[in-house]
């Protein structure tokens, strides 16, 4: 499998994965939850880094899941601190302060887990290969610090998404960084 095939699948899988994530988030939270794609593309990390530093306010919350299946990948959900605060506030039913406390970070981790797993489930169905996620990790960081973690020239998959929860709209980004290193997996 080459990078172009993965990017083509990503573009097709994004809407289906976000539909699955919406359903799972509604069931998990009991709230009116919808996640809709506003744009999907593949870009090189240098462009993504410049975009993050221009467009995303710092600090930002990053929810990270590792994934192993047909290849290794990293899934990142990115929310500005203000959007994280709004999302968690709606989920817990009360205003929350920044930086988020353990409960707030736990709520974000669950959103990342549900969304990341939804993408992996869609990939599993398409590729007929089991994908295993790592537990989600939440980190408060800056756009500049985040961009230092990824090798220049890496191509990433980006879905811009609107998270709508009980009348509140929160913008977030879902980034998949495929390493294209094959791993041993079991077939479905």
Tell me whether residue 13 is in a domain.
Answer: yes
- Tally of domains in the chain: 1
**Within-domain flag for 188:** no
Residue 94 lies in a domain: yes
Q: Could you list the residue range(s) of the whole structural domain that residue 82 is in?
A: 3-182
Spatial CA neighbour of 124 closest among 68, 74, 42, 174:
68
% of the chain residues with pLDDT over 90: 52
DSSP 48-63: HHHHHHHHS-SSEEEE
Residues whose CB is less than 8 angstroms from the CB of residue 37 and which lie 6 or more positions away in sequence, other chains included: 14, 15, 18, 159, 160, 161
Pairing mode of beta strands 71-80, 155-165: unpaired
Give domain status of residue 187, yes or no.
no
Predicted pLDDT at 75: 92
pTM: 0.88
Q: Other C-beta atoms within 10 Å of 95: how many? A: 10
The pLDDT of residue 57: 67
Instruction: Please list the ranges in the chain whose pLDDT falls under 70.
Output: 1-4, 56-57, 149, 180-188
pLDDT the model gives residue 52:
79
Residue 166 has which token pair?
A: 């009980």
CATH code assigned at 26: 3.40.1550.10
Q: Is residue 89 part of a domain?
A: yes
Whether a cis peptide bond, with omega within 30° of 0, leads into 168 is no
C-alpha–C-alpha distance, residues 38 and 125, integer Å: 23
Does residue 164 fall inside a structural domain?
A: yes
Per-residue model confidence (pLDDT) at position 3: 63
Residue the block writes with tokens 């353990």: 102
Nearest by Cα to 68 from 184, 177, 188: 184
Residue 185, pLDDT score:
43
Query: Quick check: is 100 in a domain?
Result: yes
């Amino acid at each position: 499998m080459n990078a172009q095939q993965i990017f083509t699948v990503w573009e097709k899988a994004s809407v289906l994965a976000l539909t699955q994530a919406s359903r799972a988030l509604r069931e998990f939270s009991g709230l009116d939850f919808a996640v809709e794609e506003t744009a999907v593309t593949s870009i090189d990390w240098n462009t993504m880094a410049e975009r993050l530093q221009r467009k995303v306010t710092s600090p930002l919350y990053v929810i990270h899941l590792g994934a192993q299946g047909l290849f290794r990948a990293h899934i990142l959900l990115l929310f500005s601190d203000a959007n994280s605060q709004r999302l968690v506030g709606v989920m817990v039913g009360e205003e929350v302060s920044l930086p988020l406390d353990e409960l707030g970070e736990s709520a974000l981790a669950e959103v990342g887990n549900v969304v990341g797993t939804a993408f992996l489930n869609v990939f599993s169905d398409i590729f007929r290969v089991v994908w295993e996620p790592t537990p989600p990790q939440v980190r408060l960081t800056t756009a500049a610090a985040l961009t230092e973690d990824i090798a220049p020239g890496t191509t990433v998959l980006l879905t811009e998404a609107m998270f709508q929860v009980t009348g509140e709209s929160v913008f977030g980004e879902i980034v998949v960084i495929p390493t294209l290193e094959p791993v041993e997996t079991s077939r479905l």
